[in-house]
Structure 1
Amino acid sequence: MVNLSLNLCGLELRNPILPAAGPTTRDGAALLDVANNGAGGLVAKTVTKEPSEPPRPNLAKIKNGLLSTQFSSEIPIKRWLNQEYQKAKSSGLPLIANIGYNAEEIAEIAPQVVEAGADALELTVRPISDDPSSVMKATEVTKDVVDVPVFVKLSLQVPDITEFAKAAEEAGADGIVAIDAVGPCLAIDVNTARPLLGSKNGYGWLSGPPIKPLALRCVMDIVRKVDVPVIGAGGVSGERDVAEFIMAGAAAVELCTAAITRGSKIYGLTADGLSKFMRSRGYESLEDFRGLALRHLPEEPAPTKIKHPEVLTSKCTGCALCLKDCPYDAVSIIGETARIDPKKCTGCGLCVSVCKPRALRI
C-alpha cells in the first residue's frame, strides 16, 4: 500500500505536492480550487503591506516555460486577513502564507497573518546585498513574533544559495524552499518587434521546465548543507519531476507553472502518477526513496575512460531515437535493433538518456 502523506514541520500533508505562491493561489477561491484538485497542502500568493500594481501584460508563455512580472498580491492585506485566508482554511488542508519582502514589513504583518489562520509562513526576502544578513534578519524577526513553522524561499539572485540557506537555518528557519523564478529574462514578439511583457525593458522571470535542472542542483546542494527540510520548486510538471526532487533529498515540492498552463487538475494527476510510480518500484512511502540520488553521485575525480553503451536487445524496439540524436554517427539500426560502433562512440551517454524503452545502459 503506497502512502503519499508526510509530516512537514508539524504540518500534516496528504501528499508532497504543494502549489507555489503565484497566480493559481491568488485568493481564497483559487486556493479552494487547488485543494479540490488534489494538492497536498496550500501556499497562498505573496502578501505584502501594500498591494502590488504589476505592469501589464505581465505573463507570457514561451517555449516550455513562462515569463512573469507578477510578484506580490494585488489584493489589500486587510481582505486577505478578513476573507481570503479563512476561505482557504475551509479546505481543511494546512495553509502556508507567503509574505514579503523585508524584515520590517514581515515583522509587522506576520502576526496578523498567523492570527488570520495561517498554519505556517513562507518568507520571500529580497536581499539588499551579497551577504545573507537581510535573510537572517527577516527570519529572526519572524521567529520572534510567531510560533508557527517558518520557511524561507530562496532564489538564484544570490552569490551562493547554500550559504544563504545555512544562514536562514542558523537564524531559526524551520525549512528552505528553493528555487524562485530565474531572471531577469527577455522574450520578443518577432511580428511586432516588441517585448512580450510590459515591464521596464520587457524583462521578466522564467519558470517552468527550463529551470528544473537548476532547481534540482540547488536542492541537492542545500540538502547537503542544512539539517532542516527542503521544499523543491522550479519546473515540476509531473510525477517524475516530483520523484527527482525527492531523490535529490527534498521533503516536498511546489508547483505553479504547470498549473497555469494545464489547469489545477495537475495536482491530483501528479499525485496519482507519483503513487503509480512508487508502486511500480516497490516504494511504500516517500522515505523509501528520499535522498536516494545522494548515494549515487559520481566519484571524484570524474571517470574519463570511455564506456560504450550496452544494447539490451530484448528491450530494443528499433525506434531509432538514439540514431537520430547521436552527434557522432555511432548508432545504426540493423534488423530493428540498435548497434553501437565502438570506433565512433565516445561514451557521451546521450543515447542512453533518450532511449524510451530503456534498452541502452552504461
Structure 2
Amino acid sequence: MAEEPRYLIDPYQEWAAREGVPIVKGFGVDLLAVDVRPWARKGAGGAIVQLDGRGDFADIHVIEIPPGGETAPQRHLYEEVIYVLDGNGSTVVETPGGERRGFEWRTSSLIAIPLNARYQHFNGSGRRSARLASVTDLPLVLNVFRNEAFVFENPTVFPERFGAEQHYRGDGTFIPTRPGRHMWETNFVPDLRTFELREWSARGAGGSNIMFVLADGTMHAHISEMPVGTYKKGHRHGPDFHVFAVTGEGYSLYWYEAERELRRFDWKHGGVFAPADRLYHQHFNVSPEPARYLAIAFGSLRYPTVADKLATWMGMDVSVKEGGRQIEYEDEDPLIREIYEGELRKRGIPSRMHEVVPA
C-alpha cells in the first residue's frame, strides 16, 4: 500500500522530538526550575524550551553541566547566544587557525559562539551544577536546509565571525550612534549585572540600555535597566524576543490592541518570556533595586535580516501615533499606572513616576 503523502512538515520539530529531552512550552517559564534529562548530543543534561512568542526562527536550549563536568565538543551551522543562569566555569573556542581561546564565566555572563566554531563548556565547580540558556536560530536553519549532517557536521569555517582576541577576555568595542542604539561589540560579557549602560530616556523613566553586536552575528541581544520606582513605556514588535530577568524583580503586562484585559507575567532571575507577534507589553520594576532584563532575538541592529526587525529598530521609541511601536505614558490606560502604584505601596517602595508624568 502506498504511503500517505506527507505535508505541513516541520523538520525542526521532528528533530526536537528525536533528541529525547523535555520540550517545555508556555508564555514564560522559570529556567532554573526546568527539568533536564541526559542530552547525548550535548554531553550534559538538557531541555528544549519553545515559548509561545518564539516565532519561526528561535528556540532555547537549557544545558546543565554536572559538578566537575564538561559538555561534548560542539560545532553547528546555527548561531546561539548563551546566558549563564547559575554557576561558574569556562568555555574554549577553537579558531580556524587552531588557536584555542578560553574564557571564564559566571552567573549572568553573556557568551556568543562564532558561527560553526568548535567549542566546549566546562563546569568550574566540583560541588555545584552549572546551568546555561542558549537562544538559537536552529529552527530557521533546520527548516531551510532539512539536513542534519549539513547543520551539525559541516566543516565550513567563517573566519570573519571570530572577532578580536580581546573580545574573549571581556573587552569590547563601543560603537556610539544615538540613544537606544549605542552598541558594544564583543564575544563575551563577564557580568550583565554590572555592565555599564547608556541613558535612553525616550524609552521610559530614567532608563538605560546597550545593544550588543555578538560574534558579528545575526542574533541580537540588548540589556535594559529600570531604576527603582519606575516602569517602561508600553510597546510591541514582531515575535522571537526572548526576555530574561537579570536583576531585581518585577512583572510585565501584555495585551493585544483590541483587548481590554491586561494579562500578567511576574519575573525574577531565571524567568524568561517571549511576547507574541504584535502583542503590546510593558515592564515594571517592583524591587528596591534597579531591575535589568536581557532580550535576545533573531535579527540584530547591525543585520536586521527581516523587514519586521528593521521596522522595530527604526520605530522602537517612536509613538504609535507617529507610526512607531511605542505607547507614550500620557496615552496609556490609566489602570496601568494604578496597578503599579498599588504594587509599590504593598512593598513600601516610593514611586518615581510623578517625576516623569503627573498621575
What is the TM-score with the length of structure 2 in the denominator? Answer: 0.30
What is the TM-score with the length of structure 1 in the denominator? Answer: 0.30
Larger fraction in strand: 2
Larger fraction in helix: 1
